[in-house]
Amino acid sequence: MEILTAEHLTKHYGQHIAVNDVNLHVMAGSLVAFLGPNGAGKSTTIRMLTTLSQPSSGFFTINGKNRLKDMRQDIGIVFQESVLDSRLTVRDNLRLRARLYPDVSRQRVDDLLTRVGAAEFAKQAYGSLSGGQRRRVDIARALLNKPRILFLDEPTTGLDIQTRAVIWKILQEMREQDGLTVFLTTHYLEEAEAADDVYVLDQGRIIAHGAAEVLKQQYTHSELVVWPSQHQILTIPTNWHHHFDPQHGTETIEMPSEQSPIDFLSSQQAKIQDFEYHKGSMDDVFLALTGREIRG
C-alpha cells in the first residue's frame, strides 16, 4: 500500500524553479531517503509534502487523502530546528503540544517519553538538554498524533556517532512495532544504506531512484587492493580493470561482481601477502550522480 503519492510536483518562485516535476511513490512502513546537494530542492519538497507550502502545480496524497486537514492527521515532522520552548520542561512542552490534538492523552505523552528514552530528563528544561536529548524529545513531539508517516529533515546533523545510533535504534523499533513510514533527508549518506527506497534530487529534478543496493550496483564499483608477496605476479583476467602502483607495491583491481573478491583471493592465495576490500557506498553513488560532495 502506498502511504504517499506525488505526481508532477512543481514549485517555482518567480522565474526560479525550485522543484521540477517530481514523482514519488512511498510504500507504507518503508524507510525512504531523499538525497541531494544543498539547494537541490529537498527542503522545498518536504515543505510541500507536509502541507506547509502549496505546490505551484502537481498534486500529492497522504494515506489516500488529498484534503490538507485530513492529510495533517497522518503526518509527523522533525524539523532541522526545534519548535519547542527552551524554558519549559520536556514534559510541559509535550503536554502543551498535545493540546493541539483532540485525542492525545497525558498517558500518550508519558508513553512516548519512555519509548524515546527521555523519561529520566522529563522534568528538565528543554533548553538545558544536550543535542541528542533534544532530538529524542523532538521525535516524541512529532509522534504525539500517531502519524502514519514521519518526515525527518536532517535529524542527526551535528550529533555524535553514538547518539545517532540511539536515534536510529528508536526509529527502527517504531517502524517494526507501529508500521511507521520514515521519509528522510540527510547529509550522512551512510544513513541511507539501509533505505528501502532512495531518491536523488539535483536542481529540482529526480535524477535517480531505487533501492540503495540497486543504486550502488548501477553507479559504483568495488575495489580490491592487493599486496602481492615478493616477486609474485598476480593472474588477473584480461577483461578486468586494474592498476599496479610500483611505489607501494599494490595492485588495485575493480571487481566486476560481489562474489569476485572471494573467488579471486582463493585462486591467488599463495601469491598474496595482504589485501583491502573497498565496497561501493552511497557516497560513491552520490558523487557519481551529482559530481560533487553532499555539502557542496
pLDDT tens, position by position, 228-262:
998 888 999 888 999 999 989 999 999 887 667 88
pLDDT of residue 49 exceeding 70, the answer is yes
Confidence of residue 293 (pLDDT cuts 50, 70, 90): low
Of 41-45, 90-94, 218-222, which gets the smallest average pLDDT? Answer: 218-222
pLDDT of residue 222 exceeding 60, the answer is yes
Looking up cell 512502513 gives 29
**The pLDDT value given to residue 120:** 95
Q: How far is CA 38 from CA 10, 141, 154, 281, in A?
A: 18, 27, 12, 20
Other beta carbons less than 10 A from residue 253's beta carbon: 23
- pTM score of the predicted model: 0.85
Between 156 and 207, whose confidence is greater? 207
Domains of the chain: 2-214 (3.40.50.300), 221-279 (3.30.70)
How many helices (H) and strands (E) the chain has is answered by: 9, 13
Cell of 68: 490538507
Other beta carbons less than 10 A from residue 84's beta carbon: 19
pLDDT tens, position by position, 50-72:
999 999 999 999 999 999 989 99
157 in Cβ contact with 126 (< 8 Å):
no
Angle between helices 90-98 and 131-142 (to 10 degrees): 20
Question: Measured between alpha carbons, how far is 129 from 50 in angstroms, rounded to an integer?
Answer: 27
Report the pLDDT averaged over residues 127-154: 94
**The pLDDT value given to residue 291:** 80
Share of the chain above pLDDT 70, in %: 98
